[in-house]
Structure 1
Amino acid sequence: MDEREFLAGRFEAHRTHLRAVAYRMLGSLAEADDAVQEAWLKLSRADVGDVENLGGWLTTVVGRVCLDMLRTRGARREEPLEARLPDPVVSPAAGVDPEQEALVADSVGLALLVVLQSLGPAERLAFVLHDMFGVPFEEIAPIVGRSPAAARQLASRARRRVQGAAPVPDPDLTRQREVVDAFLAAARDGDFDALVAVLHPDVVLRTDRGAVPGGRAELRGVRDVSGQMATFHRAASSYATRPALINGAAGVVALADGRPTSVLSFTIANGVIAAIDILADPERLARLDVTVLDG
C-alpha cells in the first residue's frame, strides 16, 4: 500500500463524522458532500506527518470550508437561507440506516436546522463545532479569526437563540407516531377540533415549494396553522402517505404514482406538534430516493 492509499484509508475512517459536521453547518446534503471532498483535497496536498489527531485536524478543515461556503452565499446576496428548508434525511419508519445515524444524532431535526440557518456564519460554526462536536474554543478561534474568548461568546449567543427557538422533541418514537397518526386522521376526516387538539398553541408551519413566487411560507400559532385545515384535508385525501423517519423523528412522505409530492417533518414536544416542516419543492423531491421506505 502506497502513502496515498494509506492516507485515503485514514480519511475514509472519518468521512461519516465529517459529513455530519458539514450537514449541520450547511443544511444541504449535496453541499456537505462537496465540503467533505474539499477536505480530502486539502488533506491530499498537506503534510500531516506531525498531526497527532487527524480527526480533529479534519474537523477544523471541514469547519473552515463550510464557513467559507456560508460567507460566499451571503456575498452572492442569495435569498435568505432561513427561507429554504434544509434537506431532510429520510429513513424507513422501522429505523435509521446506520450510515445516516451520525447525520441525525442528537435530535438534529429540521426545526433545529432551520434555527441554525438563522445564525451568522461564525456563530453557527462556533456552536456546531463546540456544542455538537466538542471542539475546544482554542481550535475554533483561528478558524473564525477571533480570540478563544470571542469564539466562546459566539457560541454563547448562538446557544441562547437555539434554546429559545428550537423546541426539544420528545424522545419516544412510539408516542411521536401516535401524534402524527392523530394529525393525519384529523386531516383526512376534516375534524377541526381533533386537529387543534394535537397542535401546540405556538405551533409553527413552514412550507417550501421551491423558488417560485410565494413558494416559501411560514405560519405561527394554532389559529393560523389550523386555518389550513382545508389544505391538510385535500392533501391527506388525495395522496398516499407512507410513514417514515425524517431526521430521526416521526414523519410522512406523500406519494402520487409512486413519486414523492411532499415530505412532512413533525417536531413533537410534550405530546403535541410544535412544528411542521413541509418540503414540496419538485426539483429537490425528484432527487429523493423513496425506495428506502420499502425496507
Structure 2
Amino acid sequence: MLDRVNEFFGEMMLTELRGQTFRDYAADRGSKGGARRDLEALRAAINHYHAEETLDMVPKVTLPEKGEPRQSWLTRSEIAKLLLAAMGWVPVSCDVATQQPNRWKRTGWRNPHLVRLIMVGLYTGTRLTAILNLQWMANTTGGHIDLDRGVIYRKAQGERTMHNKRKTPVKIPPRLLRFLRYWHKRDTTIDERGRSVTLRYAVHYGGEKITKPHKAFRSIRATAGLGDDITPHVLRHTRATWLAQAGVEVEQAAASLGMTAEEFERTYAHASPDFQQQAANAF
C-alpha cells in the first residue's frame, strides 16, 4: 500500500501536500475506494511520525468520499457451481432460458485449495488474507484453527489490529468442522521417527503458503458462469447476507464476522425477513 503512495508522493515535502494533491492521487489511482485506503495509511504514517518526532506542520489528508457498501452475494446454487468448478467439474450443457450450467462432468483441473478457501470464507466470513494465514496450531504470524474447541482464532498471538479490521474469534459451524477435521487428517503424516507431522497452513497449494489465489479463482468463476464482480471477498458478503436472511440476532451475526452491530445493520439488515416489518404493518 505504501509502495503505491511512495511512487506518487515520494519526492514531495509535507509542506507541498494540499487538498488538490490528494484529489490528483485519487484520479491517478483510478479507484476511489483504493485511494481512500492508501491515503488512510499515509495519514496514519504522518500522524505516527508527528507523535514520535513532532512536526511543525501536520497536513490535513483529504480522503475521497466513502463508497456505498458492496451488495454482491451468492445464492446457494451459485456457491454449488463455484465448488463444482473448484473440484474439477465442467458444464456440458446450459439451461436455454438462463444460459446457466445445468449438467456437469468431472474432466477439468482440480483446485482443492480453492475448495478450502471457499468453504472457510463462506462458513466463517473471514477475510481473504486472514484465511490464507490460518494455521493448524497457534503462532505469531497468523490465526489458527482449534479443532478441539471448535473455534477459529483469526488473529495471531500478540497481533494488534485496526479497529475496522477486527479479527475476532469465530465459532466453527458443524458442517465446516467436519471438513476441517478431514483436511487436518489429510495434512498429517508420520515421519521416519514415528512422529506426527502436520502441514503448517490450513489453505495451501502443495503444502506451500498461497499468496495470490486470484488467477485460479477467476478461472473457476468463469467455469461456474459467474460475473467479474464475484471475488473471494464476496464470500464474506454472502455469509453476512445469509445470516441476515436467517434472522440471526444482529449482535451474534456481527460478532461472528468481526464487525460492529451498527456496521452489520447498515449493510445487511435489509436482507432480514423482519426488515421494517413492524413499520410496514403499522397501519
Query: TM-score band, normalised by the shorter chain?
Result: under 0.3
The answer to which structure, 1 or 2, has the higher relative contact order (CA under 8 A, 6+ apart) is 1
Query: Relative to total residues, which structure has the larger helix share, 1 or 2?
Result: 1
Query: Relative to total residues, which structure has the larger strand share, 1 or 2?
Result: 1
TM-score computed with the length of structure 1 as normaliser:
0.24
